[in-house]
Chain A
């Protein structure tokens, strides 16, 4: 549905987006993750036809943005970082104007505007001037504008910015409901949002893609090895060295102790599940097994790892390389 190839955008000598490529399939929700100034907004602006790329191509909904911008724009809904509202218009007037410039059929407009307002829960403010709306309402009116006309592709630049927790949940649910029929790209700073709503994540930093994968794969693949947290009542015995000898276990470190209860972090070879052996070993020694759970790297850890440690690049480029291989297969 969206195909970005070797996209580069320079502002004078400054390169905002540096040779990025990715594809989004129909029905996917792609999360765009990156620190401030990473090039998220620039990429989105290129994809919506707001500005042309310096190099590379972008195809949206089957139309190349350089050749057929109008066709591509007709199938795209866009919520910019600041909702583009006209302060002097009421919410209804604004949405009706948007419906008109988006070329919705005349007889349909009013009904579509009402539907969009209900979907984003702004109907109670329909007659209020945009200038007098709270931040949360502005954001949702902007979203209503993007949803007007039920476009195939939705590009949302920080759709939950400025919302309160309840509205955030509602908006996430709304975005999740779009999955399947619509292709969505959303950018955000909030990491749990990505794991909750997105089917795939692109992490970009300094204009370059550092990782593309599903949120689950990203967290597990980047670990390199599996780590388990085990809490044992070892009754005074040295539990650490007792478990270190198990097949597949590479390293055991004590993370906490309290009386006779020991918490251990057990690392094992990648791809090998040692949970059964661990449990059996603990029980066989007559110790009490209080807790056993895999320690997952949170998306925060992944994000920080990828965007701050440049020296640790092998891990990141690994991910990109395998992703590109996948793309090539498709």
Chain B
């Protein structure tokens, strides 16, 4: 584990030593701020129109903010993962990692945790917005916690696919583009669900990454979604391990 953490630390410091971390976090903060502000205006009008009837900040404001904000991840996370393996393969530093007394799993886990670290830093920015909400209003804290938990899991899925794709190519741009394509596909895959037969419909709905976040934003931790996210991440990392291994055999 300490080996994996050494890699994770190296990955994280590499993000912050290059402009990537700042660009990614800055862009995310900007977009999230805009989403937050525009939905706040909308919520403001809604509560005026509700005229005395109870409005729920969690249900009517925070939930839409986070569900909408996940679209930013679609653009941002490919930028985080595209260099993880491609860069090391291109510059030859992969030789250092693969000839060090490390298992493939430790390297992959390290890279995963490093990217998760940057993602967590990104999410940490949004604590400022949510904090403001707590200062001026009285939202419930439990759904907020489960939302963050769900967001971390969902990001983990994206990052694990991103790692896999990055391990397949030497070219960062190619890795980034394919990753973006796959993310988008996983996003919209259930759009066609209602036109399909009952079984296909269920499968497609189940595959959609964002659908599983919904319950988390309501404050529910359902094992169904937990199992989905965790097995998704595990599978992604497993495939990455296979990909790194075949790369060795092919040379």
Contact = CB atoms under 8 A, between A and B. Distances in A.
Indicate whether A and B interact: yes
Contact of B249 (A51, A70, A100, A103): A51
B99 A78 contact: yes
B96 A145 contact: yes
A165 B93 CA distance: 27
A294 interface: no
A42 B251 contact: yes
Nearest to B93: A84
Contacts of A200: none
Nearest to A102: B100
B101 A74 contact: yes
Contact of B10 (A51, A74, A78, A86): A86
B92 to A, nearest CB: 5
A87 B94 CA distance: 13
Contact of B7 (A16, A42, A85, A101): A101
B3 A101 contact: yes
A309 B230 CA distance: 61
B184 interface: no
A51 B244 CA distance: 11
A51 B251 contact: yes
Give the size category of B's interface with A: 20 to 34
Contacts of B10: 86, 89, 97
A87 B249 CA distance: 28
B17 interface: yes
Interface in A1-56: 9, 11, 16, 42, 45, 48-52
B194 interface: no
Interface in B133-149: none
A70 B93 CA distance: 18
Interface in B87-138: 91-103
B120 to A, nearest CB: 21
B103 A97 contact: no
A103 to B, nearest CB: 6
B23 interface: no
Interface in A125-151: 145
Contact of B100 (A11, A45, A73, A85): A73
Contacts of A89: 10, 13-14, 17
B99 A52 contact: no
29 contacts: A9-B251, A11-B251, A16-B251, A42-B251, A49-B99, A51-B249, A70-B101, A73-B99, A73-B100, A74-B101, A78-B95, A78-B99, A80-B96, A81-B92, A82-B91, A84-B94, A84-B95, A86-B91, A89-B13, A89-B14, A89-B17, A98-B96, A100-B3, A100-B6, A101-B3, A101-B97, A102-B101, A103-B101, A145-B96
